[in-house]
Chain A
Amino acid sequence: MIVAERKPLAEIMEMVRDCKKILVLACRGCVTVCSAGGEREAAILASLVRLGMKKNGRDVEVIEGSLVRQCDREYVDAIDQWKGQYDAILSTACGVGVNFIANLRPRDNVLPALNTTFFGGSAEQGVWSEQCAGCGDCVLHLTGGLCPVARCAKSLMNGPCGGSVNGRCEIHPDVDCVWQMIYDRMGRLDRQKEMAKPAPIRDWSAAGHGGPRKQVRQDLTV
């Protein structure tokens, strides 16, 4: 899922400083699962915005709403139900949702309540960790299913580096060295010999370095 976290309240309060009517808009997609921007978090944020505005002596009307997702045209269109009730949308979706609202609603002032952080999973309750960098050229079949692009601090393709110590990363000593994990896992799968083969120089053009990426499935277009 896409993982995100709430921006610092000071930043949010500055964004909405001059707003009179705010729609705090939750997303029931990924950000609900990672407890950053679902209906519960949006309700908490709406309450905090009301409290913050009261403290600053500003009158504001804050309403709450939610969409199934904010990254699909058909769901974004549902914003019409709050027509006339807001002068700003404070979206608790990931950056994709905020962009979609901006794309589809040219006159709406949409503001991001979250910082979108990474593609990850829930390692344990209340803890999320990055697992994929969305680099567009997956190498997981070569690395035992563990991603060196996302999980190596240096995104090395021929690791581990010289800084790997006792299975830990030199950049973040509390993080397992993913190349040590790959080496150990390939051994368990009886594929350790493959580790001796140097990975070729990587073409990063699929990773977004050439501008925004797009994909089209002709069989699905209408």
Chain B
Amino acid sequence: MSFTPDIRLFSCHYTSQQSCAHEGRELQELGFPENVRMTRVACTGKLEVLTLLKAFEDGADGVYVVGCPKDGCHNVKGSQRAAKRVQAVRDALEELGVEPDRVRMYHLPRGLHPEFVDAAREMDEGIRSMGPGPFGG
């Protein structure tokens, strides 16, 4: 059975700035999966645990956050805070008996680097191998 996962990406404004230039055309050309829906946030440190959980409630099969490098965040500790909140959601999913890898944190440099596309592909492949989320989309 073919399965196209619903994946939500919350990305740092700065990390994704160049990726989103030219209406994201370059990103498409580089093979960024179409089933990854991106929401840009001013700083990933502003993301709440609840925001990530709501994405699952809204039907996401997988959720990930892309923030600045751990030691190079534009807002000093924003991406470190985001990583802790992602970890809190991973812990909660595990408590519910759900694969924690359905939510992940990536720290990536600014600019349109191959890693930005690689992270999306890795999430896509990972979620496809896990199958549909258990929350009934």
List residues of chain A with CB under 8 Å of any chain B CB.
8-10, 13, 40, 43-44, 47-48, 50-52, 54-55, 57
Contact = CB atoms under 8 A, between A and B. Distances in A.
Contacts of A43: 50
B134 A9 contact: no
B50 A51 contact: no
B92 interface: yes
Main secondary structure of the interface of A (DSSP, over half): helix
**Which of A43, A44, A51, A55 has most B Cβ within 10 Å?**
A51
A210 to B, nearest CB: 39
Contact of A44 (B53, B56, B136): B53
Nearest to B137: A54
A57 B97 CA distance: 14
B56 A51 contact: yes
Nearest to B84: A126
Interface string B69-106: 00000000000000000000000100111100000000
A50 B57 contact: yes
A9 B50 contact: no
Size band of the interface chain B makes with A: 10 to 19
B98 A47 contact: no
Contact of B53 (A10, A13, A51, A55): A51
Given A13-B96, A55-B136, 19 more contacts: A9-B92, A9-B95, A9-B96, A10-B95, A40-B48, A40-B50, A44-B49, A47-B54, A48-B92, A48-B96, A50-B57, A51-B53, A51-B56, A51-B57, A54-B134, A54-B135, A55-B134, A55-B135, A57-B136
A52 to B, nearest CB: 5
A48 B136 CA distance: 14
Nearest to A10: B95
**Which of B48, B98, B134 has most A Cβ within 10 Å?**
B134
Contacts of B54: 47
Contacts of A54: 134-136
A55 B50 contact: no
Contact of B96 (A40, A44, A55): A55
A47 B57 contact: yes
A55 B57 CA distance: 11
Contacts of B96: 9, 13, 48, 51-52, 55
15 contacts: A9-B95, A13-B96, A44-B53, A47-B50, A47-B53, A47-B54, A48-B96, A51-B53, A51-B57, A51-B96, A51-B135, A54-B136, A55-B96, A55-B98, A55-B135
